Amino acid sequence: MSNPLLTPWTNDFAFPPFDLIKDEHFAEALDVKLANAREKLVSIRENTDAPTFENTIEALETLGEGVGRVLRIFFTLAGSDSNPKREELQREFSPLMAAFSAEVDMDPVIFARVDTVFKERENLDLSPEALRVLELTHKGLVRAGAQLSGTEFDRLKEVKARLAILGTSFTQNLLADEREWYMELGADDLVGLPEFAITAAKAAAVANGQGEYGITLSRSLIVPFLQFSERRDLREIAYEAWTSRGANGGETDNRELAAETLALRHERAQLLGYNTFADFKLETEMAKTPDAVADLLTAVWTPAKAAADADADILQKMMAKDGINGPLQPWDWRFYSEKRRLAEHDLDEAALKPYFQLDNMVAAAFDCAQRLFGLEFSEIKPPLYNPDVRAWDVTRKGAHQAVLVADYFARSGKRSGAWCSAMRMQQKLAGNIRPIVHNVCNFAKPAESEPALLSYDDARTLFHEFGHALHQMLSDVTYSSVAGTSVARDFVELPSQLFEHWLEVPEILKKHAIHAKTGEAIPREVLDRLLAAQNYDAGFNTVEYVSSAMVDLAFHRSEPTTDPMAMQDQVLAALEMPSAIRMRHATPHFAHVFAGDGYSSGYYSYMWSEVMDTDAFAAFTEVGDPFDEAVAARLEKFILSAGGSQDAEALYLAFRGQMPKVDALLAGRGLL
């Protein structure tokens, strides 16, 4: 029987045939495609013609296409629909891919050819995008260690291989802890929970086959439980389980993995001539230096902590009125904050949720994309990897633009959080290749025949990930290495965070926030209260985020620590972290930083991008129309379609004319 990963996909949109792909196909396909890639690598190395942009840079650009085709499908499944076999394969593939990357990135002959082309770049009459690809390719090889030799060369290969294994282990340990924890609830344990939370707890019990009600570590279950449960003792149990993921001892404990990762990253940076890993990592980002990141985080921390401290005093008094002695605890904050929000803004999460039906919020995102960029979405039924997954053909003026695949519901075997990836990248080098974009969330799945209801924060998450999807779907470049979200880490969150602003547009909410039972649009007075409360609890939200970013930066801008937990505590103590708030991501479950090095030294990037997204949306408000055609056209041209084809700061300046200051962020969060 043929392997579908090794044959052309001739169905509509050349879509991956998930109904035919089996786990046993991946290893065979990867072996074949790696062998093919190595043959191409040899042909580049042994080419006797003088190095040119075409026979060297473009040849490298297409070198791993077959490998990428296999791995993008594999990692789609490994992240969204894991099982023991896929976890085993992931452990096998990590060192294989690290070795192959080293073969390419650290080959002195390949580097010599690239270096020759690079030195002639001013005489080659390259397009701006081609010049950018050449510069990035050269810099990437230098940063990968291509100029090293001898023992340093060999050691760097070992370090990178070990880091790949550690990242995979960290991810799988975290998934195991999330999958295995479950708290059974009796009918008496449901006091205070609204109907939607009880329904979710019942669905969790059915999925786990234990009891009538239960709670898992899915954020869509834990957060409502912490907001509404009157059982303080159970809130504490649930909160501690949620925040201790990766730190429970035994085989799934991530603390030693984190320590080894930090040590190896530091060694990697020093082998390449940098003082610290943060110096190495930030060199190619907009921030450039650890000091610039620290300045941003410090500027935000001071007013955020002051706001959080003031809020904590109010919540402490509310708790005392309930006859509870002792300090406000982290498992109390969301509970009393929800009560305070109801009292001050007359906003009840349970009453709001029926207005935010998942299908309607999807339609709202599509509506905004149509009005801004002329995109149309038609649902299609290709073979998919899970019955809950949906797909759309995305067109503009009748022409195919992309396929959007969306996986919205939490389930066992799916890692937590929300993300956007591509099963196929946009490019023009090998023809007009349009992308297949993958949006993933973890919303609570409703009972059979009931609509899926979102919190307002859930709806923001949906818009956020759809913003990333737009960055992929509107990509219009020649080379896949700079397509879509292939940009500086502290720029990549701009499109996603910017798109969240359209959820705040009153006409969008009035049109799409329709009550699940009555069919009525959200009342104007409720809408006004909702928008007026946008910055409610900004102190809490900012403190838990910035503290995580501060710890990440501290880990990577100093000598490596053998005890990350002690260092984490030292950083938080120096910040005078409020006792009732904890880091959004404690070290043992800080997947952004330790599952790979994508956000290492870079967790600050959400805030760096937020400085820009607040200013970018102001381009629409300044002309009085959130759907202004001229501003939308500039946004697409300079941000969404350009990918990484130009320097990020140059792209933003072309769109907006100047770089914003941190005051824009503080004002947007109500912290000025």
Could you report the per-residue pLDDT of 309-363, keeping only the tens digit for each?
999 999 999 999 999 999 999 999 999 999 999 999 999 888 999 999 999 999 9
pLDDT at 62 over 70: yes
pLDDT of residue 321: 96
Mean pLDDT (the chain) is 95
Could you report the per-residue pLDDT of 511-535, keeping only the tens digit for each?
999 999 999 999 999 999 998 898 9
pLDDT of residue 416: 87
Q: What is the 8-class DSSP label of residue 434?
A: P
pLDDT of residue 664: 82
- Give me the DSSP letters along 512-531: H-B-TTT-PBPPHHHHHHHH
3-state secondary structure of 572: helix
Q: Which residues, at least 6 apart from 583, have a Cβ–Cβ distance to it below 8 Å? A: 544, 547, 548, 551, 568, 572, 577
Q: What is the mean pLDDT of residues 498-516?
A: 96
Q: What is the mean pLDDT of residues 616-620?
A: 95
504 noted as active-site residue? no
49, 113 in Cβ contact below 8 A? Answer: no
From the candidates 285, 465, 500, 544, give the one annotated as an active-site residue.
465
Single-letter code of the amino acid located at 38: R
Return phi, psi of residue 357, to 5°: -75, 140
Would you give the distance in Å from CA 533 to the centre of its chain? 26
pLDDT band of 1, cuts 50, 70, 90: low
pLDDT of residue 449: 85
pLDDT of residue 672: 79
Better-scored residue on pLDDT, 587 or 446: 587
Angle between helix 489-500 and helix 605-621 axes, rounded to 10 deg: 40
Q: Could you tell me what percent of the chain has a pLDDT over 90? A: 93
Angle between helix 23-45 and helix 108-119 axes, rounded to 10 deg: 60
Return d(Cα 506, Cα 510) in angstroms, integer. Answer: 6
Which residue ranges make up each domain of the chain?
4-105+107-147, 182-244
Return d(Cα 464, Cα 594) in angstroms, integer. Answer: 23
Q: Residue 343 class from Cβ within 10 Å (0-12 exposed, 13-18 middle, 19+ buried)?
A: exposed
The reply to whether CATH 1.20.1050.40 applies to domain 4-105+107-147 is: yes
pLDDT band of 94, cuts 50, 70, 90: very high
Angstrom CA distances, 576 to 159, 176, 582, 607, stand at: 36, 33, 12, 21
Could you report the per-residue pLDDT of 531-545, keeping only the tens digit for each?
889 899 999 999 999
Q: What is the 8-class DSSP label of residue 453?
A: B
pLDDT at 270 over 70: yes
Q: Which residues, at least 6 apart from 351, have a Cβ–Cβ distance to it below 8 Å? A: none
pLDDT of residue 665: 86
Structure-token pair, residue 32: 């074949």
Of 308, 300, 349, the C-alpha closest to 330 is 308
pLDDT of residue 651: 97
pLDDT band of 670, cuts 50, 70, 90: confident
